[in-house]
Amino acid sequence: MILGGLLAVTLTVVKACQAPEGALERFGVDSLSKLTTLDVPPAQPGIEFQTPTATVSLADFQGKVVLVNVWATWCAPCVVEMPSLDNLERLRGGEDFAVVPISLDRTMEEIETFYDRMELTDLPIIHDPNYTSNAALELPGLPTSILYDRNGREVARLPGEAYWDSPEALALIDYLIAQ
């Protein structure tokens, strides 16, 4: 009995010494298991991208929660992820939230052909023709998703693919929109 009591006290002390779970880390389950927050997140870069009709920057989305997803048509995990991003934009996109998929393909035509083939109807077509995203966003590889709050501050990132229309992803987006 004494041994059991000592074990219980030891476990309580160890648990009390651990860092508390962050607000966003509780969403890092299932397909979001690689979701991380940075102690010192980088500032949102001022780089520009191309749409079929205009030049845009991340600052254009100020006031919204933004999920930036850097991807390419030649990246197999990116291809798997794109339908769920399209569905997320359909389910949550609007005045409070936007998915910003930044393609690193060679041409705008490659992206447009891919969208047609995959029947992606809700995602905007955004192209990084100068390939500045990798360095500016400090990407570990493709795909990488970065979440920004309404003030343009990075709040989390996820390297690799995820199912962005899963219950845990929708709960994460809803949580960030409510902040």
pLDDT tens for 106-119 read: 999 999 999 999 99
What are 88's two structure tokens?
A: 């997320």
Q: What is the pLDDT of residue 42?
A: 78
Q: What is the pLDDT of residue 7?
A: 38
| Distance (Å, whole) CA 130 – CA 133 | 8
Extract the residue ranges of the chain whose pLDDT is less than 70: 1-21
Which residue, 173, 177, 179, 178, is CA-closest to 158? 173
- Between strands 65-71 and 144-148, the pairing is antiparallel
| Distance (Å, whole) CA 150 – CA 53 | 25
Q: What is the pLDDT of residue 2?
A: 57
pLDDT tens for 83-94 read: 999 999 999 999
| Distance (Å, whole) CA 59 – CA 46 | 7
pTM score of the predicted model: 0.86
Instruction: Please provide the size of the chain in residues.
Output: 179
Q: What is the pLDDT of residue 82?
A: 98
Q: Produce one character per residue of 102-114: b if its CB has 16 or more CB atoms within 10 Å, e if not.
A: bbbbeebeebeeb
